[in-house]
Chains A and B, each alone.
Chain A
Amino acid sequence: MGKAEVFGNFDYIPQGMEPEGMLSMTVQPIDLITYWRRCGLVADFGAKFYAYAYSTPNEYLENTISTVLNELVENGAKFSRQKESYVSISLRHFINVFAIEVVNETTLKIAQNFKEYIKKLLSADLEKMYFDRLESRKESDEGSGMGLLMLLKDYPSFLGASFENFGSDGNEYARITIRIFLKIEE
């Protein structure tokens, strides 16, 4: 196991701090890729699970959690090794923050590209980066690369990321942990 490289506000809330509530689940990437609607299902479940923590219906908060979680789960599914791999999702609810973590395993090449993208996100003028990317998109671009950028620009959130290589002898992979700390807007 290699040493983890950590970026951004990875420990904005320390892992040892006890949350008000916690939910975690682990799925295989192939389960999500094959049945893509499951990404939304997972996101909606996580959001609904926490919506019950509020005495009055809070559709706005539920919509926010589902939107943020969905983007992270979609990324975890798209950029994973599809077999012999997993996507691990956890939500920790604190008084005014949701800590959302998605862990996935991928190739070293994908991890390296993603690491460079994370570095850019953490140092960029997000407003400028958002519109520059939209304006410079080519019609042939399959992906948008806008998910995390949109979350950080439009939602009150902090990003943390960790990259850790594992394996040996030509079977080396990277484990990516993405954390979004979402401030709860009342």
Chain B
Amino acid sequence: MNITNDDFSIVFDEAQRSIVFKGSLRLLNVKEYEPVKSLLSAAHDKSTGQLTLDFRDLKFLNSSGITTISTFVINSRNSNKLKLEVLGSKSISWQEKSLINLNKLWSEVNVVLS
């Protein structure tokens, strides 16, 4: 259920209930993010209590990607099955600027910037 290529990797650790994003994720449009969306959805279904999205090693995410993650948060809010934790880095500007928006979509998203 993982996605790995030359530019980025997305790995779901079922035991840790975490999805770790690494590299640079800049796909053409939201449609191209379908495999990412499917991975997020499957990880959500397999997790209980809390799911962590770890972006600390993701250097870039374009607006289509941010839209995909935001849509996932909205869907998680609507199903209200588990809480979300989002990990980001203050030294990577897109994370420092954009991840906080996820908490504004759903107050149960705990955004931790380190």
A interface residues (Cβ-Cβ under 8 A, vs B): 36-37, 39-40, 59-61, 63-64, 66-67, 70-71, 74, 78, 130-131, 134-135, 137, 141-144, 146-147, 150, 154-155
- Assuming the A-B contacts A131-B105, A137-B71, A144-B29, are A150 and B63 also in contact, with contact meaning beta carbons closer than 8 angstroms in the complex? yes
Chain B, interface SS category: helix
- The closest CB in chain B to the CB of A39 belongs to B26
- The answer to whether A63 and B93 touch (CB under 8 A), given A71-B62, A144-B63, is yes
Interchain CB contact under 8 A, B91 and A134: no
Distance A59 CA – B90 CA, assembled complex (angstroms): 11
CB pair B93–A131 under 8 Å, yes or no, is no
Bound-state Cα–Cα, A29 to B105, Å: 35
Q: Which 8 A-B pairs have the closest CB atoms?
A: A144-B67, A147-B63, A154-B97, A64-B93, A63-B93, A146-B63, A40-B26, A142-B31
Contacts of B70 in A (CB 8 A): 134
A59 to B66, CA, bound (A): 20
Majority DSSP secondary structure for residues of A touching B: helix
Name B residues whose Cβ lies closer than 8 Å to a Cβ of A.
7, 24, 26-31, 59-60, 62-64, 66-67, 70-71, 74, 91-94, 96-98, 101, 104-105
Chain B residues in 8 Å Cβ range of A70: 26, 60, 62
Task: Give Cα A3–Cα B60 distance, bound, in whole angstroms.
Answer: 38
Is B24 a contact of A143 with CB atoms below 8 Å?
no
CB contacts between A and B, total, < 8 Å = 76
Closest chain-B Cβ to A45's Cβ sits at a distance in Å of 13
Using A78-B29, A142-B29, A150-B63 as known contacts, list a sample of 5 further A-B pairs with CB atoms less than 8 Å apart, ordered by residue number in A.
A60-B91, A63-B60, A70-B26, A134-B70, A144-B64
27 inter-chain pairs at a CB distance below 8 angstroms, sorted by A residue, are A40-B7, A40-B26, A40-B60, A60-B92, A60-B96, A61-B93, A63-B60, A63-B92, A64-B93, A67-B60, A67-B62, A74-B26, A74-B62, A78-B29, A131-B105, A135-B74, A137-B71, A142-B29, A143-B29, A143-B30, A143-B64, A144-B66, A146-B67, A147-B63, A154-B97, A154-B101, A155-B97
In angstroms, Cα B94 to Cα A67, docked, is 7
* Nearest-Cβ distance from residue B37 to partner chain A, whole angstroms: 9
Is the CB–CB distance between B93 and A137 below 8 Å? no
A135 to B7, CA, bound (A): 29
**Residues of chain A with a CB closer than 8 A to B93's CB:** 60-61, 63-64, 67
A150 & B98 in contact (Cβ 8 Å cutoff): yes
